[in-house]
């Protein structure tokens, strides 16, 4: 093998979008401040989308995240189609939903098995987990592969799909092309149900979030690719009214903007979706949730792993339903004509509501773009949780606290959660 | 002999595209018995790329301290990557992928990593001058590595 024995100090591998810093100030045994600093790429994209053609955002914004590119594509399409007054035919909507199911399956499988489960099983990471629970990790890989297969078939490839366009798709699959996918998904459904049983057996600390919830709802199905915004406090509004309710503001300690819902901290993501929409799950997913001990709502952030597993069952089940009823649309897309308008669009990224807003001129040039990802929406709620967690555990060492805080953060699956030691913790004890 | 060349990285993050750039160049050489894959970091995709491979050569960008952009490090994985900590938000990194493969009994028979020190990991396409200058060297080294390995193993395959 290699004769070279150079030892390197590598600060980082190259994909550097995930980085978290957490600073606490403790005075007289009380936590005064918990400040989480998350690096947030969408800000850059908002700037360089200005002046671009209105057909470009689905491809450009999909580059923001390698795990949820479909979410960015679909929210961008929803916003731009809203601006252009485009109404999609149901078969195209269904295909978009099917593509999105693939992303949910792949993203949830990654988080459940490779990022979150080690926290419950007393191992450092997925590699250690693989040594003691190989069949489980193999099941996680098979699920991830099934999600990737949906993305590849409909999107052209698993990461940063290229087949999505404003008004639909560049090409729609034939019925026979989806047949092998259905076979793989039928096996994946067994794996997804086994996943729910597996995570339901974990031990969960008692905890309950104390904030409002925000998720999309649809009257006849669990919301994924679109829907009406709904809150636990009883408000409902449309994507075009998002700006009236959700306000972003700058905080001194972070480059990411914080968002508040009607002046309050709030949570988006699996717990919000499930608590506001569990009645819309398929029978199979609902039964899996009941068997796992979930009620009609779930407020324990540690149990979010069970909710993600139930959502994975739903996504597989829903993908099978959509493939079962699929007939190839006559046209793969609806042509969108530009006009001077503003459009808002939302969809349920695996981590929660993702909002896009575009202002166009008459030629379809983008005058302004706003992208509010779930991680920045959840940041205030995560900080609240960290503050109370830390306050209850101040007797721990800084190393122990770092581990506890990382675990607390991972419950929310933000865009910093995968690195084993991702957190740079500073505690100012005065 | 089945050899696999995996270029890891995101072509839209400047020097992170060095792995894919090498992969495309190797693909154009049409080396016999060599599969070429481009992976953006997805761990399950990485594991699948080297299924049944005798040799896997992985090319990725790295950041080092102190930095020397364009410097090429070659070694047996995962030792090449030393104490590297992945900072990606959702990719587990090559070190973790290889360790995971080993834990699952799915490691490649032989793995070599070429790590190229990045200069610019900002948004956009195109490599920095330092990494561009290193590119032909990496391509030639990787091609030679695969050819030598093929020759070495040929008697076994008869």
- Checking if the pLDDT of A64 tops 80, the result is no
Please enumerate in sequence order all residues whose Cβ is within 8 A of that of B12, keeping only pairs 6 or more positions apart, or say none: A63, B123, B124, B125
Q: Which residue, A349, A379, A384, A195, is CA-closest to A270?
A: A349
Instruction: Identify the weakest region by mean pLDDT among A64-68, A98-102, A145-149.
Output: A64-68
CB contact under 8 A, B103 and A18: no
Tell me how far CA of residue A197 lies from CA of A208, A225, A313, A318, in angstroms.
22, 27, 11, 19
Distance CA A223, CA A172 (A): 23
Contact residues, A window 58-87, toward B, CB-based 8 Å cutoff: 63, 65-67
Angstrom CA distances, A10 to A398, B79, B81, stand at: 24, 12, 7
- Of A428, A423, A429, give the one whose Cα is nearest residue A19: A423
> CA of B126, closest CA in chain A: separation in Å?
15
A154 vs B47, residue with greater confidence: A154
Choose the closest CB to B60 out of A13, A16, A160. A13
- What percent of chain A has pLDDT above 90? 63
Q: Which of residues 34-73 of B touch A (CB under 8 A)?
A: 40-45, 47-48, 60-65, 73
What is the pLDDT, as a whole number, of residue B35?
93
Which one has a higher pLDDT value, B9 or A301? A301
Token pair 């903007």: residue: A257
pLDDT average, residue stretch A88-109: 96
List the beta bridge partners of residue A371. A356
A35, pLDDT greater than 70: yes
Instruction: Pick from A7, A9, A14 the residue to mutate for testing the B interface (most B CBs within 10 Å).
Output: A14
Question: Per the CB < 8 Å rule, is B87 touching A419?
Answer: yes
CB contacts < 8 A (A, B): 170
pLDDT value at A296 more than 90:
yes
Model confidence at A267, in pLDDT bands (50, 70, 90)? very high
For residue B91, give the nearest of A66, A141, A420 by CB distance: A66
Is A213 in contact with A221 (CB distance < 8 Å)? no
pLDDT tens digits, one per residue of A181-224: 999 999 999 999 999 999 999 999 998 998 999 999 999 999 99
Check residue A420 and report its DSSP letter. Answer: T
Across A206-257, the runs of DSSP E, i.e. the strands, are 212-217, 228-231, 236-237, 246-249
Question: Which three-class secondary structure state does DSSP give residue B81?
Answer: helix
Range in A241-250, A351-360, A407-416 the model is least confident about: A407-416
- Is the pLDDT at A427 greater than 90, yes or no? no
* Nearest by CB: B89 against A18, A114, A126: A18
How many secondary structure helices (H) and strands (E) does chain B include? 4, 5
Q: Read off the pLDDT of each residue in A275-294 and give the average, rounded to a whole number.
A: 97
Percent of chain A with pLDDT over 70: 88
What is the model's pTM?
0.87
Q: Which residues contact B30 (CB under 8 A, 6 or more apart)?
A: none
Dihedral (CA of A301, A303, A309, A311) sign: negative
Q: Is A9 on the interface with B (CB under 8 A)?
A: yes
For residue A327, count other CB atoms closer than 10 A to its CB.
8
CA distance A384 to chain B (A): 22
Distance from CA of A6 to the nearest CA of B (A): 8
Per-residue pLDDT 10s for chain B (158 aa) are 689 999 988 887 889 899 999 999 999 999 988 999 998 777 788 888 888 888 999 999 888 778 899 999 888 765 555 544 443 434 567 777 888 898 998 888 899 999 999 998 877 789 999 999 999 999 999 999 988 877 765 544 43
Q: Is A137 on the interface with B (CB under 8 A)?
A: yes
Quote the pLDDT of residue B92: 64
Q: Other C-beta atoms within 10 Å of A409: how many?
A: 24
* Contacts with A, B 15-34, CB within 8 Å: 15-16
Q: What are phi and psi of B65, to 5 degrees?
A: -125, 125
Backbone angles phi, psi at A62, to 5 degrees: -65, -20
Q: Closest chain B residue to A147 measured between Cα atoms?
A: B44
Query: H or E stretch including B143?
Result: helix B129-157
Measured distance CA(A200)–CA(A286) in Å, rounded: 14
* Cβ separation B89–A417 shorter than 8 A: yes
Give A161's pLDDT tier (boundaries 50, 70, 90).
Answer: confident
Distance from CA of A67 to the nearest CA of B (A): 7
The residue count of chain A comes to 430
Residue that has been written with the tokens 């995240």 in this structure: A65
Lowest-confidence region among A355-359, A362-366, B83-87 = B83-87
According to DSSP H, which parts of A156-259 are helical? Answer: 175-200, 242-245
Mean pLDDT across chain A, nearest whole number? 87
A12 with B99: Cβ contact below 8 A: no
- Rounded to whole angstroms, how far apart are CA atoms B148 and A184? 39
**Predicted local confidence at residue B108, as pLDDT:** 86
Tell whether the model's pLDDT for residue A26 goes beyond 90: no
Question: What pLDDT is recorded for position A258?
Answer: 78
In sequence order, the 6+-apart residues with CB closer than 8 A to the CB of B117 are B61, B62, B63, B64, B67, B68, B69, B70, B71, B72, B73, B130, B131
Q: Region A150-170: what's the mean pLDDT?
A: 89
The top-scoring range by mean pLDDT among A72-81, A124-133, B11-20 is A72-81
Rounded mean pLDDT, A387-399: 84
Angle at the Cα of A152 from the Cα atoms of B24 and B100, rounded to 5 degrees: 75
Q: Does B13 touch chain A (CB under 8 A)?
A: yes
Q: Rg of the Cα trace of chain A? A: 21
The values of phi and psi at residue B120, to 5°, are: -125, 115
Q: Which residues of B touch A418 (CB under 8 A)?
A: 86, 88-92
CB A226 within 8 A of CB A78: yes
Specify the residue for token string 């949780």.
A385
User: By C-alpha distance, which of A182, A152, A174, A188 is closest to A70?
Assistant: A152
Out of A237-241, A348-352, B7-11, which region has the weakest mean confidence (pLDDT)?
A: B7-11
Q: Report the distance separating Cα B33 and Cα B30, nearest Å.
A: 9
Q: Report how far residue A113's alpha carbon sits from residue A360's, in angstroms, rounded to the nearest whole number.
A: 42
Of A12, A137, A159, the CB nearest to B63: A12
A388 Cβ contact partners less than 8 Å away, ≥ 6 residues apart: none
Asked whether the predicted pLDDT for residue A325 surpasses 50, the reply is yes
């Amino acid at each position: 093998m290699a004769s070279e024995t150079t030892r390197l100090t590598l600060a980082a591998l190259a994909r550097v979008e995930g980085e978290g810093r957490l600073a606490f100030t403790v005075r007289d045994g009380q936590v005064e401040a918990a400040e989480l600093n998350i690096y947030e790429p969408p800000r850059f994209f908002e700037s360089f989308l200005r002046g671009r053609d209105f057909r470009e955002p689905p491809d450009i914004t999909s580059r923001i995240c390698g795990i949820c590119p479909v979410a960015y594509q679909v929210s961008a399409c929803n916003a731009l189609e809203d601006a252009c007054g485009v109404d999609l035919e149901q078969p195209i909507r269904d295909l978009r939903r099917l593509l999105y199911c693939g992303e949910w399956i792949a993203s949830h499988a990654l988080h459940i098995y490779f990022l979150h489960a080690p926290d419950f099983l007393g191992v450092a990471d997925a590699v250690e987990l693989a040594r003691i629970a190989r069949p489980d990790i193999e099941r996680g890989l098979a699920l991830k592969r099934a999600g990737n297969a949906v993305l590849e078939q409909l999107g052209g490839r698993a990461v940063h799909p290229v087949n999505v366009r404003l008004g639909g798709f560049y090409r729609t699959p034939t019925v026979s092309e989806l047949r092998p996918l259905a076979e793989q998904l039928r096996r994946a459904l067994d794996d997804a149900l086994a996943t729910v049983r597996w995570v339901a057996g974990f031990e969960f600390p008692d905890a309950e979030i104390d904030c409002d919830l925000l998720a999309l709802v649809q009257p006849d199905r669990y919301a994924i690719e679109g829907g009406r915004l709904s809150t636990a406090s009883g408000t409902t509004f449309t994507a075009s009214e998002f700006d009236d309710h959700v306000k972003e503001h700058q905080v001194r300690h972070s480059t990411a903007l914080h968002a508040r819902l009607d002046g309050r901290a709030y949570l988006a993501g699996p717990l919000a979706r499930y608590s506001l929409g569990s009645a819309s799950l398929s029978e199979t997913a609902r039964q899996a949730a009941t068997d796992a001990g979930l009620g009609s709502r779930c407020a324990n952030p540690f149990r979010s792993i069970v909710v993600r597993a139930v959502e994975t069952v739903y996504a597989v089940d829903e993908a099978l339903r959509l493939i079962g009823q699929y007939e190839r649309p006559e046209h793969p897309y609806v042509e969108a004509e530009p006009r001077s308008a503003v459009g808002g669009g939302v969809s349920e990224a695996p981590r929660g509501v993702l909002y896009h807003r575009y202002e166009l001129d008459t030629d379809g040039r983008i005058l302004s773009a706003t992208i509010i990802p779930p991680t920045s929406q959840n940041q205030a709620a995560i900080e609240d949780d960290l503050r109370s967690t830390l306050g209850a555990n101040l007797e721990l060492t800084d190393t122990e606290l770092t581990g506890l805080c990382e675990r607390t953060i991972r419950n929310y699956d933000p865009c910093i959660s995968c690195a084993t030691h991702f957190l740079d913790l500073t505690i100012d004890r005065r | 002999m089945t050899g696999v060349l995996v270029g890891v990285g995101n072509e839209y993050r400047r020097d992170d595209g060095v792995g894919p750039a090498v992969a495309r160049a190797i693909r154009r050489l049409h080396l016999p018995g060599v599969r070429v894959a481009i992976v953006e970091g997805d761990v399950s995709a990485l594991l699948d790329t080297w299924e049944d491979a005798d040799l896997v050569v992985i090319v990725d960008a790295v950041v080092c301290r102190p930095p020397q952009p364009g410097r090429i490090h070659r070694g047996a994985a995962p030792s090449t990557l030393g104490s590297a900590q992945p900072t990606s938000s959702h990719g587990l990194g090559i070190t973790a992928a290889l360790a995971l493969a080993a834990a699952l009994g799915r490691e490649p028979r032989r793995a070599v990593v070429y790590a190229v020190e990045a200069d610019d990991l900002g948004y956009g396409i195109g490599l920095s001058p330092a990494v561009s200058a290193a590119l032909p060297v990496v391509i030639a080294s990787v091609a030679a590595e695969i050819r030598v390995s093929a020759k070495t193993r040929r008697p076994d395959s008869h």
